[in-house]
Structure formats: structure tokens, C-alpha cells
Chain A
Amino acid sequence: MTKHHFPPSNPDEQAFLDFGDDIVSGATPEPQTDLESTFLHIQGTLRQTSAEADAMPADLRHQTWTRVLESSAYRHHRPMRLGLSTPPRRPVVSWINLATLALAAAFILASVNMWSTYDGFDLFGEDVERGPVPTHDLAVAPTTPEATAAVSRACDFQSSIPIFIADEPPIDGPALYLSDNGDLRLRCSTTETGTLLEDDVRSVETYPYPNFVKLSVGSGPNPPPTLLNIATGEHVTLDLTGFTRYLGHPDWSQRFKVVPDQTDPGSWAIYDLETMRHVSLMDIGGVAFPTSDQMSVSMPATGTTMAFASGGYDSESSAFVERLPGADGDILVVQEDLATSHWISLPADFPPVTNFTISPDGSLLTILSRPIMGNTATIGLIDTATGAELTRTASYEAVPGDFTMQWIEGEQEIVYAVGGTLYRLQGTANASPEVLYEAEHKVSLVAQMAIPHVVHLAEDTEDEGLQSLIIFDTSTDEATRVEGKFRHSGFASPLPMVTPLAPLKTQLIAADGTRTWELNHPVTGQPLISAEGLPNATPEADIGYFMYYPPVTTASEAPVSIVLTDTNELLIVNLELAPAVTRTIALPDGVGRNNFRAAQLSPDGRSFTISAYEDDIDVWYLLDLTDAQSAWVEVSGPYPVGFTIHDSNQPDHAPDSDEKIGG
């Protein structure tokens, strides 16, 4: 049989496309042509249901979510150093500590918030099935760490080392590279081939702790991740095979990881990457934290003080802290030695605690009752050392989105916003909330930056989706309203994420409705750059395309953020100096907004890498930021480039031979 098909006309093609759209939208039109019949046949065949194909298996689903969160934590975890000065009202700790502590708070807040917002996932829908997350208690403990003696090498571990997937490092200088045959090598100088760190490696990626990388080793299916210290050769395999439950704490911390107990996989333990030691929470607190229960963790990245609690769910799907049988309290406070600990009992008359966070310095614990589906919010402050409740607020009426709170950098106090009012609550006995600011419309604390005494408020406006941005200095009680409008959700999380220092983006709206963008300083609110100020900006340049990067102290400059503009330029934005834009870098030829894919600043601020989609593949480029005359170097094909986290405390090592270590 011979078939004859005439070239389709545009109307025919459009009608067929519309038919397909109708089908995928749920309509059931009768096929009128053989092509439409074919469509239904193909669609039906490919949509054949099976348990495997329809839904991601639960174990992979949960593991994947944890990976996403951990990767997100890495993005936010950069070393910070800043010299911005605001008048201190009380003695404060150093900037570096503040920055670190603030970042720690970010992870705590995000993780604790995650725990309280997971269940049902929908604060707005009405038909969501709610209940505890599914559990499968198949947790497998970490393998015994294979510690080897420290092997000295010529590498400078005080700098970030680029990671490549290549048979040879594509650049001069130190490099960690994984070749096609599975050898992972560390090259410290241009002349050597590199020390073989591990063989049979399938993948290598950055891990957010100094000198560690995350490996997939072996040929078996789904090998557990191995964490390797490239400076010492020590490694540990954290085997979470079959572990499918959400962690209240998705392992945001650098140094400590929450893992199943080595001797009792049904309960939780802590692994310390600094000492490569595994300690059961049972041994620390006297009772086991079962992996079948929800567990929430507040753990500053500094690890000075950590808090653990087990929890359950109420009928409105809020997670809440629940005392473990046999425990001497509700929340276990643990010091970084993983030996010193004590229990804190929640006040008996406090409503169910749905969140808790330890202050950046570890001295105070905030307990928060904020049921997801409820309309109340209550905060209490507890002395971490004694467990005594210092003060608490009244129970505010606040629908979701009407309540936000955060720690004040460098102070023993919190601020919180309810409705149109900003309050301060000090961590002293019987302290009363103090009104700091009252607005006409609702205010929300927006993403917190590690700046002493400075908080950022978004106040609703008549323009839907746009707010006024207010910079509030808690040391002077001065409010600075930034020109222009700020785009911030009116549905803020109760505990805003701590973000790296970065410019604030606002929109300037002209009388005729034309909008242009502007970047403002996060402390002063003054304009840093605007569309008009760009060298190659076109009149029609509208809202700019921004990429904010955590401030990193480059080799030659103060902290910077990097911005990609509509004009296909990268701006190095110095947050201390004027003019703010200290360097403008043209993107490589052929790279622009249309195919720009990803970018990464090395943690030491010395290198910047970008990728672009060219001819159906990712192409990666590397730029040496320490040399103002440097040009982009194409470093590899479709393989991503990463960096190790450098160790500012790590001494240099003497040269060593190409021996295999850490096997």
C-alpha cells in the first residue's frame, strides 16, 4: 500500500497543535484525522502507567530533595569579610565571626523552617492530603572512617583549587582532576602529573567544608557518597542507602553531619568532619533519637552550640517539638566537643513549639509557636545555659505571611514584624516587646544580611507585588526609605533566610509607567549602579538581569558582588568603595544573556567561571580575577568546573611524591 501525504498548510499544523493542546489539557475530542489518531495512540502508549514511571520512588524523591537543599546551602556559604561601619551601640564580636554566625543562622533558620513547612507543602490549597511524611526506617550508618596519616603535599590549601573532569588539567597551577579512567589526582604544580588520591571514581564535586570533596566511588549501582579530605587523605563513606525520610535538618552545617547511628541505624548520631568522629546522640543525651520520628536541629556553622529535638504532627499538620520518652527535657543542647550537653524543658504553658533557633553566639534559644494553618504567633526567649525562660510575647493574631522574625546581628535580641509594626525583644529577664517602627501597610522582614544592627523591611504598597524597601538601623532607630519600589513577596517566611551581603535591587517607576532598575547599597540605601550608569546601556534597557554573588574578598580588593547586566557585561561591584563598579568585564565572544547558563566565583575570590550553551553543549570559561589583564580561558567541554573550599587555617605542606593515599 502506498501512502500519499500532501504538505500540510499552516492551518493544518495549527489545528493539529491545538488538538494536542486540548488533549494534554484534559479534553477528549474525537480524532478527525489519521494524524490525530496517531497522536492519541502515541500519547496513550507513552503515558502507560507504572509505579516506577508515574512517580519518583520515595527514596529517590527524598534523597534528591536533601541534595537540592545541601547544594543550596553551599551556594550561600562563602567566607565573608566586611568593613562596613555602623555605630555600635554595645560591644560586638568581630565581623568575621558575625558573618560566620549569621550564615550559620541562615542554615538553621532554613532548616528549621523546612521542617515546619514540609508537611502537605501547601499553605494555600485546601485539598492537600496532610499527615506525617512517609518513613522507611532503613537507615544505614556511616562506614568506619578510613583515616590515614596526613600526607603532606606542595599544594597551597589556603586557596581554592579548581576541580575538572579532564585527563589533564586545562590550566596551569594547582588542580584536582578526574580522568576518564576514574583516577582522581591532585596536581600542585604545573610540572607534576599529580598525586593519585583515589581510583575507580565516578564523580567528584565540591563539598562545603575546607579541603573536602564529595566522591562517588565504585561501579555498583548508586554508591554511597564518600567525603575525602584532599589535604590529609582521610575519607569516610556516609551510607544512607535506603534512608528515605526527610530530615528536619537537611545537613546545612559544614562541620557536623546528622547521620544514622553506626551501631544502631534506627537512631541518630552526629559525624564530625573535623575529627572524623562519629558520636551517637544516645551517648550524648542518654536517650535515642529514633530515625522514625521527625527531628529538628539548630546548628550554627561554627558548631559551638547545637540543639536537637524530636517532634510529631498535630491535626493541622504543624510539626511541633515533642519530648522523647525517658528524656530529661524537650530540647537537647550539645557543645561542639560532642560530649558536653544538657536538656532544656519547654515552659509547660507555652503553646506547641513549631520552630526553635539558637542565637548566633549560642547563648539564647528562641522558641516559636507558629502553626502553619493557624492564625497566631508566640515567641519566647530561653537562656541556653540555664534553660530558664527569660521572656515571651503575647500571642499575636497573624495570618500566614503577617509574621516574620530574625536575630539582630551582634545583639542579644530579636526583631519581629507583625502586621504593620516592627518590634524588638531583648533577651533579658521579663523584657517587654518594644515598638521600633509602625507603618501604614504590612511590613515583612526580608532576607537577612549579616550586617550589625541593620534589618531590611518590605512595606506593602498600592502596587500589587511591589513594596517599599526600608533599611532600619536598630542602633539608632532610624529608618531609611529607599527610592523606588522593591519586589518582595507578601508571603514572607516567619524566619527569613540569611543571605550574603549584596546590593538591593529596586525599580524606578516613571510617571508614564516606564520602569528602570537600580542597585542600592544594603546599608545606606544609596544608588550603586543604575541602567543609565552602564557604559553600554541602551535607552530601551528595562529591568536588568542580575546575578548576585556572595561577597568574596578578592586577592586585590574588598568584598565584591558580581552582576550580569542586560548589556552582557559582568560588573565587579565593590560594596565598600566609590565608585561601586570597580571593573567591567566583557563576556567571552559568543556568550550573552541568551545562552548564559551558570557562573561561579571561587570561594577565595581569585577565579570566576561561567558556562554558556553553545552548539548544544555547555562550554566553560575561567577568568583569573587577580590579574586585571587576564582573558577568559576555555577550560573544558560540557563538564562543570568546581572549586574546593580553601582552609584559611591550613598550613602549607612540603612537596611529596605521587603516592596513592587514603585508599
Chain B
Amino acid sequence: MTDPATIELREIERAQDNPADFAPLYERYVDLVWRFAFSRLGDRERAADATAQTFTKALAALPRYEPKRQADGTTFRAWLMMIARNVIVDDQRRHRETTNLDAPAAQLWLTDTRRSPEEHAIASDEQRRVHEALRKLPDKQRTLVELRAQGLTGQEIADVMGMSLAGVRTAHHRAYAKLRDLLANDFEGSSR
């Protein structure tokens, strides 16, 4: 049984030879890129556009990408997310605005349709608190937390953000410590 990393390395090599063979990689990672773009941009169309740009750039750069094994997988996911991050940053600068978490599109991101109305209301309130706290983080820390939410490892986050692993280690700790304090203060404030 071939391990997933070997399969992915083969798929990457095939896609390097023939762009049409990029499809398996697209299929595997399009949701990851979409979720990240949607969380950052809060707009369906812009997130779709960023997703398309990400894969277009990845396909264009693929011939000179040299994949490597990393942990149980390959470096492809981090490489792709690095492109996605840059595309999203470009988009945000073009729109000269930050993600509007109050927008209906962003609210969809926060919605869990499987809950009861009561559970939903409680959960929504908690999600609002978390997102408000997240907005108060420096952009780098916020990006780090959002990449974590997408399931990236520390090493992958370092690759995506162009940071050293030591830098991620520190920023990671600070980000969650800041969130812990923000959420605690918010709770205390709302309790008074």
C-alpha cells in the first residue's frame, strides 16, 4: 500500500508534466484554500476569486516547485497556503478594507446549522466573542491562529508565513495567550 505522501509526490510530478493532471491536487486542497480565503475575506465572491488565483499561480509555478516529504505528508500544502496567503493579502490591499465579520457572508462561516436554535444562539454568541478577540490580534498572530484552525502544523505555518519555526513557536504562544486574556477580560467585562 503506497503511503499518502508518495501518492501526492507522484501526483505533483504528473501535474508538473501535464497541467490537466493538476486536478487531483485541486480536488484535495480546494476546500482548504477556500476556507482560509473565506475566513480572511468574509465574502463569497472574493474568496472564490482568491481561490482561483491561488491555484492559477500554483499551476504556473508548479514546474519549478520541488516537493519534499514533511512529517506524514509533503510540503505541497504549506507551499499552496503560502500562495493563498499572498493572494489574500493582495486582495485585502486592493479593497483597502479589512474583513467585515458582521457581513452576512462572514456570518455563514460562523453558523452551525446542526444545532438547536437555543444551542445555536449560545454558540453564535461564543463565536462572536472569539472572532472579536481575533480581530484584536496583530495580523500576523491572527493569520497564525486561522492557519491553525485550518489544520496546519507549526512547521507548515512557518513555511506559509515565511517565518522560522522558532518565530512561529513564540508567536503561537503569544497569540493564544493574548486570546486567552482577551476572552477572559471580555467575560469579566460582560459579567460586571
Best-buried of B14, B51, B114 by chain A (most CB within 10 Å): B14
Determine the distance from Cα of A71 to Cα of B87 in the docked complex, in whole angstroms: 16
Query: Is B148's CB under 8 angstroms from A43's CB?
Result: yes
User: B31 near A: Cβ within 8 Å?
Assistant: yes
Query: Is B51's CB under 8 angstroms from A493's CB?
Result: no
Query: Is A45's CB under 8 angstroms from B18's CB?
Result: no
Q: Which residue of A lies closest to B139 (CB)?
A: A616
Query: Is A69's CB under 8 angstroms from B19's CB?
Result: yes
Q: Which residues of A contact B151 (CB under 8 A)?
A: 24
Determine the distance from Cα of A14 to Cα of B19 in the docked complex, in whole angstroms: 40
Given A493-B21, A617-B93, A638-B90, residue A56 in contact with residue B16 (CB < 8 A)? no
Query: Is B180's CB under 8 angstroms from A38's CB?
Result: yes
Query: Is A24's CB under 8 angstroms from B152's CB?
Result: yes
Q: Which residue of B lies closest to A118 (CB)?
A: B23
Q: Indicate which residue in B51, B64, B111, B176 contacts A42 across the interface (CB closer than 8 Å).
A: B176
1/0 contact string of A31-50 vs chain B (CB within 8 Å): 00011001101110111111
1/0 contact string of B44-57 vs chain A (CB within 8 Å): 11001001100111
Determine the distance from Cα of A184 to Cα of B166 in the docked complex, in whole angstroms: 47
Determine the distance from Cα of A53 to Cα of B105 in the docked complex, in whole angstroms: 10
User: A511 near B: Cβ within 8 Å?
Assistant: no
Q: Indicate which residue in B114, B172, B188 contacts A1 across the interface (CB closer than 8 Å).
A: B188
Query: Is A3's CB under 8 angstroms from B173's CB?
Result: no
User: A373 near B: Cβ within 8 Å?
Assistant: no
Query: Which B101-138 residues have a C-beta within 8 angstroms of A?
Result: 108-114, 123, 126-127, 130
Query: Is B86's CB under 8 angstroms from A124's CB?
Result: no
Best-buried of B27, B126, B145 by chain A (most CB within 10 Å): B27
Q: Which residues of A contact B59 (CB under 8 A)?
A: 68, 71-72
Query: Is B173's CB under 8 angstroms from A24's CB?
Result: no
Query: Which B139-187 residues have a C-beta within 8 angstroms of A?
Result: 145-146, 148-149, 151-154, 168-170, 172-173, 176-177, 179-181, 183-184
Q: Which residue of B lies closest to A25 (CB)?
A: B153
Q: Which residue of B lies closest to A546 (CB)?
A: B64
Query: Which A2-48 residues have a C-beta within 8 angstroms of B?
Result: 3, 5, 8, 10, 12-14, 16-18, 20-21, 24-25, 34-35, 38-39, 41-43, 45-48
1/0 contact string of A62-74 vs chain B (CB within 8 Å): 0111011101100
Query: Is A447's CB under 8 angstroms from B17's CB?
Result: yes
Query: Is B14's CB under 8 angstroms from A489's CB?
Result: yes
User: A93 near B: Cβ within 8 Å?
Assistant: no
User: A545 near B: Cβ within 8 Å?
Assistant: yes
Query: Is B177's CB under 8 angstroms from A5's CB?
Result: yes
Determine the distance from Cα of A45 to Cα of B154 in the docked complex, in whole angstroms: 20
Query: Is B45's CB under 8 angstroms from A221's CB?
Result: yes
Q: Which residues of A contact B28 (CB under 8 A)?
A: 121
User: A122 near B: Cβ within 8 Å?
Assistant: yes
Given A24-B151, A618-B90, residue A497 in contact with residue B19 (CB < 8 A)? yes
CB distance from B72 to the nearest CB of A (A): 8
Determine the distance from Cα of A127 to Cα of B65 in the docked complex, in whole angstroms: 28
Q: Which residues of B contact A53 (CB under 8 A)?
A: 35, 38-39, 108-109, 111
Query: Is B149's CB under 8 angstroms from A35's CB?
Result: no
Determine the distance from Cα of A221 to Cα of B44 in the docked complex, in whole angstroms: 9
Q: Which residue of A lies closest to B72 (CB)?
A: A25
Q: Indicate which residue in B24, B51, B169 contacts A10 across the interface (CB closer than 8 Å).
A: B169
Query: Is B44's CB under 8 angstroms from A60's CB?
Result: yes
**Interface stretch (choices A108-116, A289-297, A415-423, A602-610):** A108-116
User: A83 near B: Cβ within 8 Å?
Assistant: no
Given A13-B169, A35-B173, A48-B123, residue A110 in contact with residue B52 (CB < 8 A)? no
Query: Which A113-134 residues have a C-beta within 8 angstroms of B?
Result: 113-114, 117-118, 121-126
5 contacts between A and B (CB under 8 A): A21-B153, A35-B176, A110-B18, A110-B19, A496-B18
**Which positions in A face B, CB cutoff 8 Å?**
1, 3, 5, 8, 10, 12-14, 16-18, 20-21, 24-25, 34-35, 38-39, 41-43, 45-57, 60-61, 63-65, 67-69, 71-72, 75, 109-111, 113-114, 117-118, 121-126, 165, 221-222, 446-447, 465, 488-493, 495-497, 543, 545-548, 597-598, 613, 616-618, 637-639
State the 3 A-B residue pairs at the shortest beta-carbon distance, nearest first: A489-B13, A46-B149, A56-B34
Q: Using A114-B23, A121-B28 as known contacts, list a sample of 18 further A-B pairs with CB atoms less than 8 Å apart, ordered by residue number in A.
A: A3-B184, A17-B173, A24-B151, A38-B179, A39-B176, A41-B183, A45-B127, A46-B39, A46-B145, A47-B149, A69-B19, A69-B20, A71-B59, A222-B44, A493-B17, A493-B18, A497-B17, A543-B66
